[in-house]
A and B are shown apart, each in its own frame.
Chain A
Amino acid sequence: MSLPVRVGTLLVAFLAVVGGAIFVVIHYLLAGPPTVDFTSQAAPGQPVHIVLQEAPQTTVSDRPDWVSYFIQDPASHQWVHTTLFKVPAGSMIDVTVLGYDGCTPLRNPFWGKISGTVGNVEYVNGKPTQVLNSWGECSVAHTFSIPGIGLNVPIASPTTLAANNNLCGTSPCTSGPHTTVTFSFKAPATPGSYFWQCRIPCGLGFLDGFGGPMQTIGYMTGEMEVAG
């Protein structure tokens, strides 16, 4: 092989490796779901309104069979496939969750207790509720829990077997049996990142349901960024 051919081969091989590394970094390591920003929407002293939905699948993603949360963009009202959102520090947050997913028993029925919300209460289709019994009734789909501020809200599911067998099939869901859960909580005064999670091991197909969406930001866990 002549020198130019050898140099050329080496160069091509080198570029292929570097290009592969850059692709891995950008595609897998830096890529993540977007953050929905609620700070610009909030007038000072006024509560921030956040609308979420739980979908029984994620047909918009490359993991169509994973359960997922979606967040509604406050400006466009489009559903965004993400679990990252940003709120102003110290603000009152009014949350509405549309529970389109069916029931699964909690791993620990202790998390059926609502805590950390205003009045330690959530409203299930308007009805004030302080505790949900997921072992005795088909009543909970997922939870919205921010351990760092002691927030735990089990999200009620449709309660009948017929409804549970007839859940929405394309996500984000726009119709189908669902509950409307509302609650309010105060965002912490200290800026920072607060993770949130679901406490129902809903990663079907994974060992004891703990893998997949339970461990992946953008599905059943995410972060609330509190901006100063």
Chain B
Amino acid sequence: MAAETQAATPAAKAGGPNHGLRIFLIWIVLALAADLVLWFVLGPHIPPGRLGSAAQGQQFDNNVMIAMSAPVLVLVLVYFTYAIVVWRRRPGDDADGPPLHGHSRIQALWITVTSVMVLSLAAFGTYELIVPYGAGGGEGPSPIWNPPGAELTAAAQQRPWAPGHVLVVQVIGQQWRFTYRYPGLGGFETTELVLPVNTMIQFDVTSIDVIHSFWAYQLGVKADANPGVDNVAYTKTQHLGRVTVRCAELCGLWHGAMFNYGKVVTVPQFQAWASSTSVALADVTKLLPPYSTTYDPTEIAHLGPVLQKLGLTGAGGGYYPPQDPSQP
């Protein structure tokens, strides 16, 4: 911008071409073309896709930021190219360039335009976080942006699920696997993540050892899995497809191998899967601790019989001998 003042003033005064206008016209055409191509051609393929509503929201946000930054990039490139072509040194020209002057109107315009951009992006970002119920991010144990029908207590989560209602899926991180518990479908726990389409999903993410992070990429969901914490995140499944789940928090030796694939299926397929899985896992489901939003696997109440048998009657209050360290 400062250089533009250098270019525009002396030449225009001398009756030469108006460089500022030329650059502006080249820029407006190219910037418009770039934005149209980026929005309509590249836009639909920008990560993380549209499998979940949170993902679609993130894709939209990414596209808005791309559409806003492309003209800035184009302006820099246009000015750079124009300067190289038009203002290069000609043979035999050893004269000094014209002196630089301040140009308060352009400076004011620059400050105004960039301030408006930054402030409106902040407002836009806030809106885009609140309106789509946290935008797929973990909102902690007491989420403040909830979709209608969200189930925020363990008792409510265990009410039998019916199509059309919010489906609660508990995600349990442990070294080095996520397991999924479906409290509204009998409370079974499985290594498979299967979700019905066109359904608001409420992920209740927790861990039973170290900190993991549940990242369901195509659904646009990412929520830390902390031991003793219930971290709630929402997304609505929008069409059938495959979900890649990765742990996004360095969690030990095999962190890099801590991934699995889930899928979004039709509602009848989901119901069929849930009932057959529930039957297949019935023998282990009855051994699980009662459904809860968090678990403390070292809690003596669960382990009573086996620890008594071992002669560890909980003198140290826990799972390990009292001299061994455990998380507070």
Contact = CB atoms under 8 A, between A and B. Distances in A.
B253 interface: yes
A28 to B, nearest CB: 16
Contacts of A23: none
Interface in B243-285: 252-254, 257, 281, 283-284
Interface residues of B, number: 38
A108 B208 CA distance: 8
Contacts of B114: none
Given A105-B319, A113-B284, A205 B307 contact: no
Contact of A136 (B176, B191, B306): B306
B139 interface: no
Interface stretch (A6-14, A34-42, A87-95, A126-134): A126-134
B100 interface: no
A103 B288 contact: no
A44 interface: no
A1 interface: no
B245 to A, nearest CB: 12
Contacts of A113: 281, 283-284
Contacts of A112: 284, 287
Interface in B293-328: 297-298, 302-303, 305-307, 309-311, 319-321, 324-327
A110 B188 CA distance: 9
A208 interface: yes
Contact of A208 (B179, B306, B326): B326
A163 to B, nearest CB: 11
A135 B287 contact: yes
Given A204-B324, A214-B175, A161 B309 contact: yes
Nearest to A165: B311
A161 B325 contact: no
Interface string B141-159: 0000000000000000000
Nearest to B177: A147
B172 interface: yes
Interface string A194-209: 0101010100111111
Contacts of A205: 324-325
A195 B327 contact: no
Interface in B209-250: 209-210
Contacts of B289: 109
B252 A137 contact: no
Contacts of B191: 147, 150
Contacts of B311: 161, 165
A72 interface: no
Contacts of A161: 309-311
A215 interface: yes
Contact of B252 (A138, A148, A204, A210): A210
A165 B309 CA distance: 11
Interface of B: 172, 174-177, 179, 189, 191, 208-210, 252-254, 257, 281, 283-284, 287-289, 297-298, 302-303, 305-307, 309-311, 319-321, 324-327
Interface of A: 102-103, 105, 107-110, 112-113, 130-131, 133-139, 147-148, 150, 161, 164-165, 195, 197, 199, 201, 204-210, 214-217, 221
10 nearest CB pairs, A to B: A113-B284, A109-B287, A215-B253, A138-B309, A131-B283, A107-B297, A110-B189, A207-B325, A208-B326, A105-B303
Given A108-B172, A109-B289, 12 more contacts: A105-B297, A107-B297, A108-B208, A113-B284, A135-B306, A138-B306, A161-B311, A195-B257, A207-B327, A214-B175, A214-B253, A221-B253
24 contacts: A105-B297, A105-B303, A108-B172, A108-B189, A108-B297, A109-B289, A110-B284, A110-B288, A135-B287, A135-B305, A136-B305, A136-B306, A137-B306, A138-B309, A147-B177, A148-B257, A197-B254, A204-B320, A207-B325, A209-B324, A210-B252, A215-B252, A215-B253, A216-B253
